[in-house]
Amino acid sequence: MNNKIVKYSLYVLNVFFAIVIIAPIIYCFNVSMMTMKEVFAGGFWSRQIMLDNYKKALQLAPFFTFIKNSLIVSCTVTFGQIVTGALAAYAFSMMKFRGRNALFVLMLATMMIPSQAIIIANYLIICDLGLKNTYTALILPNAASAFAVFNMRQAFLQLPIEIKEAADIDGCGNFRFFYSIALPLVKPAMGALGIYIFLQSWNHYLWPLLVTDSVNMRTVQIGLGMLQGAESTDFRPVMAGSMIILIPSILAFILGQKQLISGLTSGSVKG
Amino acid sequence: MKKGKKLLSVIMTAAMTVSLTACSGGGSATNASASATTAAATTAAAADTKTAAAGGKTVITFWHAMGGVNGEATEALVKAFNESQNEIEVKSEYQGNYDDLITKLKAAMQSGNMPDVCQMYDIGTKFMTDSGYALPVEDMFKTTNFDPSTVMNIITSYYTVDGKQMSMPFNVSTPMLYYNKDVFKAAGLDPNTPPKTFDEVLEFSKKIVESKAAPVGYAQAIYGWFFEQQIAGQGKFYANNENGRKAPATEVDFVNNGAGLKIFETWKKLMDSGYAANYGSTTADTQTAFFAGQTAMIIESTAILKNATASSNFEIGTGFLPKIEENADGGVIIGGASLWMMDNKDDARKNAAWKFIEYSTTPDAQANWSMATGYFAINPAAYETAAMKDFIAKNPNFVTAINQLKSSPVNGYTAGVLSGVATESRKIFNEAMEKTYDGTYTPQEAVDYLAEKVNAAITNYNSSTK
């Protein structure tokens, strides 16, 4: 009986927090269906289903091109950071070599440099390399990150050292151990990191704006900027645009979450 | 939850820097010998190739910061120009909002990837002049027989430095008063007589709130632009050396001439009365309060008239910017942005850039631009076109904006301050105003604080440009 009360009150709490979190998104969706006067009349729900604002948003900015670009960039960046992060983290956690800790601290120290401080320098280099207005320019500076290394290292450190010792005795080489044993065990950490990197990359604004010029190389966040006016903004197309670009990031989360859960359960079964 | 997210994002930003650093290391190693000038030459060459590809046309690039409907109107203007002749092709590129655009332009100046025409907001005028990368538009007037009197004097005066017109005004606006006619009627006020002074604003607000016609009588965003406007409105200078236009400004003037104190005292009194409200420094929030009927009067840019009319569920009235006190020399300062010619050391592109700028000032182009965006037409002849006459007849509130501009005297006060630290000054103003509203500073203390901080910024700027 007591258990049931606890269970149901937890459900109620869950639903409550879910509503709190999702309400702004629902409102965003509602505004994207409203007429101009409705927005400022103060209602939460839209009185009609109307696609005019979506049409307007697509007319002001080619969102499908932007989504394609953002997908290419974000997926590559996520892949790059996970690969480089996992490989470097494996070395930092499982292999013993001189100066390992010093190198690791040095790498962590680079996390302290604010990105704004070097963004112009990076821009100049991209220009010098002749990479302006290319996917490479959008991807390259973000293809590896100290945070990914740090995050993956924490995951590898969770693994019992005995597994590694057993593998060594059985004559399993470092790469095979990394690929067949260590990596599957840190899948949940990889999933979480992947979602994070993807969303981070999806939300980039200043860097894509700097290194791209033509509209067909631009990414989604710049698309949202294109909907906003200097003195006043019609928020309805902005909300419609937000809804459009929200879909891929929600998909990324769902896909990543599946990885996350399957990783967790596979771990628990094996004990 | 939110805190955690913020922390994570901070960590992630930091993480990003690593990769950026890593990239910069590798990049400079491979290309250590390549200087910025070579890069410039390469891009110029690339542009030339494109020129040839486009069938002998001179291709020039135009950077702008116009989003939304203004962006559409900008694209329409470029398209109309491209179709009007067959020698030049303008490629317009949106580069984010005003602040993003100036960031990108600064980077482009260093790397030699400058556009040929660049839009720049009013407060970037001093930076553009000092940068040395801009070609004064006035240099083109004589060789092309351009008549500068086709553009309103009061508008070009803002973009004139040392007696020379540096850039061509593009999107122009001034602040004005917006009020809710329905509320005025309900409060027993004449809906066709807006307040002219801040004393009247207070008096009207009192009537509105006490008659319960609206919860708030008056609101204005905390915005440095409005402060600058009220200094000009009193016929006073913001900074010395005639607003920095005779020689670079070395210190602010509003503290010595008393204009600053009057403004802080007036606004503080209004806020303390309880009939006015402060919705913060985001202008969109004050707009929202007005559109939603919360407040009966606001000060806003003339450029929002279109949006305001479409958003409000009531009849909108407009009036001149309320004054602190009557003054014959006082008036409004124009704001907005102008078009700059960038020096790419290429005569063909320079001439093409000017042709485009010249086209943007023609009556038809200005009429279309003004009708689509709500900005002023800089060429008075635009108001004589049939389409514009029709438009104004349908939108009588538009006349208020034009009349206000026409009734402003052209002088050093209404030319506005020419400052290299305008962005910073406005930020400091926000701080001083907030602290006055919440009672931390008296108006006198706030003005002193503002003057001290802005003076320090000016000194710093001047020493860096010497």
Contact call for residues B125 and B159 (beta carbons, < 8 A): yes
Contact call for residues B372 and B73 (beta carbons, < 8 A): yes
The two three-digit tokens of residue B203, written as one number: 């008096």
Domain limits, chain B: 41-172+335-394, 175-331+421-465
Q: Give me the CATH number covering residue A196.
A: 1.10.3720.10
Does A271 reside within a domain? no
Contacts of A200 in chain B (CB under 8 A): 9, 12, 16
Strands annotated E in B388-453:
none
> Identical fold at B41-172+335-394 and B175-331+421-465?
yes
Q: What is the pLDDT averaged over residues A81-90?
A: 95
- The parent domain of residue A154 ranges over 62-226
- DSSP, collapsed to helix, strand or coil, labels residue B118 as strand
Among B23, B43, B174, pick the best mutation site for testing chain A contact (most A Cβ within 10 A). B23
Domain count, chain A: 1
**B41 in contact with chain A, both atoms CB, cutoff 8 A:** no
Q: Who among B14, B22, B31 is closest to A144 (CB)?
A: B22
What pLDDT sits at residue B300? Answer: 96
**A214 in contact with chain B, both atoms CB, cutoff 8 A:** yes
- Which residues are CB-neighbours of A80 under 8 A, at least 6 positions away? A139, A142, A143, A144
Cβ separation A115–B288 shorter than 8 A: no
**B4 in contact with chain A, both atoms CB, cutoff 8 A:** no
For residue B9, count other CB atoms closer than 10 A to its CB: 14
Q: What is the DSSP letter of B157?
A: G
Contact call for residues A199 and A256 (beta carbons, < 8 A): no
User: H or E element: which one contains B169?
Assistant: strand B168-173
Contacts of B112 in chain A (CB under 8 A): 127
- DSSP, collapsed to helix, strand or coil, labels residue B346 as coil
How confident is residue B65, by pLDDT bands cut at 50, 70 and 90? very high
How far is it, in rounded angstroms, from Cα B464 to Cα B466? 6
Does A137 reside within a domain? yes
Contact call for residues B357 and B341 (beta carbons, < 8 A): yes
Summarize pLDDT for B385-430 with one digit per residue, the tens. Answer: 999 999 999 888 999 999 999 999 999 999 999 999 999 999 999 9
Record the pTM: 0.86
- Which residues are CB-neighbours of B442 under 8 A, at least 6 positions away? B436
Cβ separation A142–B16 shorter than 8 A: yes
Partners of residue B216 on adjacent β-strands: B295
Summarize pLDDT for A238-261 with one digit per residue, the tens. Answer: 999 999 999 888 888 888 777 666
Residues, chain B, total?
466
Cβ separation B107–A120 shorter than 8 A: yes
- CATH architecture entry for B41-172+335-394: 3-Layer(aba) Sandwich (3.40)
Nearest CA in chain B to A43: B292
The packing angle between helices A235-270 and A187-202, to 10°, is: 170
Q: Which fold has domain B175-331+421-465?
A: D-Maltodextrin-Binding Protein; domain 2 (3.40.190)
Partners of residue B119 on adjacent β-strands: B339
What pLDDT sits at residue B465? Answer: 82
Nearest to B138 by CA among B104, B162, B170: B162
ipTM of the complex: 0.86
How confident is residue B226, by pLDDT bands cut at 50, 70 and 90? very high
Summarize pLDDT for B344-355 with one digit per residue, the tens. Answer: 999 999 999 999
Contact call for residues B106 and B116 (beta carbons, < 8 A): no
Q: What angle do CA A261, A265, A270 make, to 5 degrees?
A: 155
End-to-end CA distance of chain A: 31
Cβ separation B283–A231 shorter than 8 A: yes
Phi and psi angles of residue A90, each rounded to the nearest 5 degrees, phi first: -60, -45
Q: Is the pLDDT assigned to residue B198 strictly greater than 50?
A: yes
How far is it, in rounded angstroms, from Cα A197 to Cα A204? 11
**A118 in contact with chain B, both atoms CB, cutoff 8 A:** yes
Q: What angle do CA B189, B195, B200 make, to 5 degrees?
A: 90
Q: B residues 343-402 near A, CB within 8 Å? A: none
- Tell me what the pLDDT averaged over chain A comes to: 90
Q: What is the pLDDT averaged over residues A217-229?
A: 93
Contacts of B11 in chain A (CB under 8 A): 111, 147
Q: What is the rounded (10 degree) CA torsion for B434, B438, B440, B444?
A: 70
Summarize pLDDT for B109-147 with one digit per residue, the tens. Answer: 998 899 999 999 999 999 999 999 999 999 999 999 999
The two three-digit tokens of residue B370, written as one number: 């003004």
How far is it, in rounded angstroms, from Cα B81 to Cα B324? 44
